[in-house]
Every structure is written in structure tokens, then in C-alpha cells.
Structure 1
Amino acid sequence: MTTLIMHPQNKEQLTALKAVAKALKVSVETSPYDPEFVAIVKKASKSGNYTEVDPKDVWGSLNLK
């Protein structure tokens, strides 16, 4: 199946696109991130190549204190 990516310019367009998709029973998936970036993050997560950061101690989590 083909993936169609649309970039509505305002909320009105977004609402209209979602309504059309719902009427046609087409699934809608939204992501605020670029698909290429998401793929890189998922790959790093699978390989264990990432660092968890404690939001209460960012510098300490990164050993930068």
C-alpha cells in the first residue's frame, strides 16, 4: 500500500483531512518527528546505543558536572 504524507497549513485543513480520512475509513497516523529521525532513534534503542538523562540532574546524567 502507498503512504501519503500531507502537510496542512492550518487547523481547519487538518480537521478537514481527518474528516475525509474517517469518512473513507482510512487509518491516520500522526508524528511530530521526521520519519528519518524516528528510524535513527529506534535503531539506537534496539542496539542499546543511547543515554538516559534524568531531567532533575541533566548535567550529572551526562557526566558533565
Structure 2
Amino acid sequence: MEKLVINVPDGKSNIIKQVLHSLGVTIPGYDIPIKGDYKKKLLNVAVWPEQDLKEIEEATKALNNFKAEEW
């Protein structure tokens, strides 16, 4: 096995660790998924109200009901 030392920009080390770990690289001290700003951003995903979802579904159905004109 080869040992590699890399310099990573501030704020990017968690992403680099995640990518390397997914490729099978052993990283000392990296046992759990990242818990930084990335996880906070994922947990802050907006939820659409049911009314908005119904309107989107209705618009999709209406769009699918269009028929091409015959020439």
C-alpha cells in the first residue's frame, strides 16, 4: 500500500475524505459520514405543501392531454 499526503483547501477536506472513502481509500480517523455544513444544508431542504403538489400534478395531467394538430 502507498501512503499519500495531500494539501486540501480549507472547507474541502470533508468532501475529499468522502470521495476517497467511497473509492476504498483508508483514512485514519474517518469512520462516520461527514457532519459539517453539508449535512446542515441537506437537513434544511424545503418541503412543498400538498396544495402546490396537487397543482403541479394537475398541470402535468393537462400538459399530457394536449394533442398535436393534424395538418
Task: Please indicate, yes or no, whether the TM-score normalized by the shorter chain is above 0.5.
Answer: no
Provide the TM-score with structure 1 as the length reference. Answer: 0.37
State the structure with more CA Rg.
Answer: 2
Provide the TM-score with structure 2 as the length reference. Answer: 0.34
